[in-house]
Amino acid sequence: MPHPDRLRRALLRGLATGLLAPLAVRAARQGDATEDALAALKRRAGGRLGVCVHDAGDGASLAWRGSERFALCSTFKLLLAAVVLREADAGRLALDEELAFGREDLVPHAPVVERHLAAGRMRIDALAEATQTTSDNVAANLLIRRLGGPAAVTAGFRALGDDTTRIDRYEPAMNRVAPGDPRDTTTPDAIARTAVRLFSSDLLSVAAQARLRDWMIATRTGMRRLRAGLPADWIVGDKTGTGSNPQTGNQHNDVAVLWRDGRAPVAIAAYYAVGAYHPEMRAQDDAVLAEVGRIAAEWIARRG
């Protein structure tokens, strides 16, 4: 006859398995339903879609082509701002340091830097804020140079625990990513995990986390993308990325972090390669990301 302690442990294991099995089945069904919804969205929209939703609370993730590489476009600027703040936390960079620039530094899309051309210099913290909130390309280039170039910034991503995301060029050349080219790319899974880690670990000081969170929330470039599909009572910040090139087609990207009622943050990364070139960015392509937001919100809400 089995020893009483062994029998008791076996009964407890059986009870636990019986209680947890329905939860596991329900979670699997929820994941399957969400994946089916993403697959149906991709079929309707065409192109190539990659999505990852990652919850810092229990580490749960949902991914659709989450391990495939996509062109970063300007989504890298969220991590660039984080690297700047981390360097400042470590005392290797002073946020009140001013970087000089002139007309020779201008590239397309510099809404903040252009306003400061007469002064010819801006503080590093102001450049980081402009990089995140307006996607100012010149501000990003100035910060990349100050940090030591693309390879040094990529090393900064590695210090954040991201072994996948990389930048290799400056703006705007980095947006031209041919199929199969690993330069200036990430995966939805990698960047979602990194984004959520910025707000759920000691990578950044409490003050730096608060500053980055405020910048993300103040960003308005993605109001028609993921945010458009998320509940209005959730606190959400994001960073978009957009590409339009005859050789590589159009790219609509968005990385969002959301906070709900004191729960751990959740990140959503969505990368949509349209598969064709359109001179004007189309609302219907932004709407694909809005639908990703709605699908992700349903998955998050079902989990409680």
The catalytic residue positions are 74
Place of tokens 């509940």: 231
Cis peptide preceding 22, ω within 30 of 0:
no
H or E element in which residue 240 lies:
strand 235-245
Find, among 296, 168, 303, the residue nearest to 238 by Cα.
296
Q: List C-alpha distances in Å: 54 to 163, 196, 198, 258.
A: 17, 7, 13, 11
Q: List C-alpha distances in Å: 36 to 68, 211, 269.
A: 18, 37, 18
256: its two tokens? 């969002």
Buried b (16+ CB within 10 A) or exposed e, 60-93: ebbbbbbebbbbbbbbbbbbbbbbbbbbbbeeeb
- The one-letter amino acid at 195: A
Q: Which residues contact 217 (CB under 8 A, 6 or more apart)?
A: 235, 236, 237
Q: List C-alpha distances in Å: 51 to 20, 55, 69, 193, 224.
A: 28, 14, 11, 12, 17
Place of tokens 């960047």: 191
What single DSSP character describes residue 2?
-
What gap in Å lies between CA 200 and CA 267, rounded to an integer? 11
- The one-letter amino acid at 202: D
242: its two tokens? 């957009």
Would you call 242 helix, strand, or coil by DSSP?
Answer: strand
What gap in Å lies between CA 157 and CA 79, rounded to an integer? 7
